[in-house]
Amino acid sequence: MYLKSIELYGFKSFAHKMKFEFHNGITGIVGPNGSGKSNVADAVRWVLGEQSAKQLRGASMQDVIFAGTEARKPLSYAYVALTMDNSDHVLPVDYEEVTIARRVYRSGESEYLLNGTPCRLKDVSELFYDTGVGKEGYSIIGQGQIEKILSGKPEDRRELFDEAVGIVKYKKRKAASVKKLESERENLVRVNDILSEQE
């Protein structure tokens, strides 16, 4: 699996439609300070489901939408599509190519698309569990992140190893089942209360 292309429109400094194409190998993005290099990495993080504005170097989630310049009006939405080559089927779907897209409007309305079909954030997250690519994966290392990992709490550091050895999806499924079990237990208590009231 490798990143084949990124399409952006209205995301941060990318006011025009832009498509970056990558090949199997190493690609470097170079440019002067403030030209938008980090915005490309932010776009990848965002489309993979980043929910924290701070992680995207903004104050609110709407800050990812092109805010306008002297020469160009602000745009009403931001759109990013990431296409992965999946010919080795590392992503657990039948498609040879997988495109994940995210769009957000100034109104706050937003959507995720998986090969053009609307889906939930959960679907995007689950697709990338244990591949190292998800928003919590180790394939995007931001500025200062290495230091954070080294000086962080052992539990936080463990998350990185969990992802690397491929047990995140089991841990997430277990957490979801435990939560469901907990709510069923509460329902059972409520039913028992009602039954004993009627006796």
Q: What residues line the site for ligand ATP (CB under 6 A)?
A: 12-13, 31, 33-39, 63, 65-67
Cβ at position 57, least distance to ligand ATP in Å: 7
Cβ at position 49, least distance to ligand ATP in Å: 19
Q: Can you give the chain as a three-state secondary structure string?
A: CEEEEEEEECECCECCCEEEECCCCCCCCCCCCCCCHHHHHHHHHHHCCCCCCCCCCCCCHHHHECCCCCCCCCCCEEEEEEEEECCCCCCCCCCCEEEEEEEEECCCCEEEEECCEEECHHHHHHHHCCCCCCCCCCCCCCCCHHHHHHHCCHHHHHHHHHHHHCCHHHHHHHHHHHHHHHHHHHHHHHHHHHHHHHC
Cβ at position 33, least distance to ligand ATP in Å: 4
Cβ at position 120, least distance to ligand ATP in Å: 25
Q: Which is nearer to ligand ATP, 16 or 89 (CB)?
A: 16
Q: Which is nearer to ligand ATP, 30 or 194 (CB)?
A: 30
Q: Which is nearer to ligand ATP, 13 or 99 (CB)?
A: 13
Question: CB nearest ligand ATP: which residue?
Answer: 38
